Structure 1
Amino acid sequence: MSTLTLNVRFTAKPGHETELRETLEDMVAPTLAEPGCLAYELYLHPSDPSRVVLLEEWVDEAALAAHFETPHLKECAAALAEILLEPLQVRRFNDVG
C-alpha cells in the first residue's frame, strides 16, 4: 500500500501572519505523535510571511481520517477560520513506489 502525502497551502489575512505560523506550529508535535503520521513539516514562503505550506505524510487514508477527528485538529480548524484570507488549498499525492 502506498503512503499518502498532502501539500496544504495557507494564506493569512493581513496582520495575522504570526498567528497563522504559531497556530500551525502548535499542530506539529501532537500530529507527529499520532499513529500513522510519517511527516508533518511547515515551510514559510521566503518573501511573503502570509503564505505557509504544510507537507504531511501518512501511512494510509485511515490514519489521515483519524487525524481529522483529533481535538487538536478541530481546535486548529476553528482558529484558522478567523485567520485565513482564503480557503486552504489541499493537494493529495501517493508515492510512486
Structure 2
Amino acid sequence: MTGKPKPDLYDLLRINFGNDTVEPDTLPEPDRRAGRSGNSRAASPPRRPSGQTGPVSVRRADPRAWKVAQEVADGDTRRLEILADGSVLIHNNPVR
C-alpha cells in the first residue's frame, strides 16, 4: 500500500498542539486565568466586610399557638409568620 498512512488520534492532537513530543514529567502548568476576562474584577459587586454584625430581632411565639398553626398548615412552617405580639399568622403560600 503506497500513500499516506491513516492518521491516528495522536496525529490529530499534534495538528492543534504542534509536533513536538513532550515527556509526561515536563508538561507545562495550565494557565488558570485563560478563561477569565480582564474586566471581571470591575464588574463584580463590592464585598461586605466580614466580621461586622448588626442587631438581630428575635420573636418567640406561644408554643401552643405555634403547634396549632403547624397542624393547620399541614406541617409547612414556610407558611407561618410570627408577628410582633407573639401570635402566628398562616399564609396561603410559603413566605420567601
Higher helix share: 1
Same fold? TM cut 0.5: no
Query: Which structure has the greater CA radius of gyration?
Result: 2
Give me the TM-score of the superposition, normalised by structure 1.
0.23
Higher strand share: 1
Give me the TM-score of the superposition, normalised by structure 2.
0.23
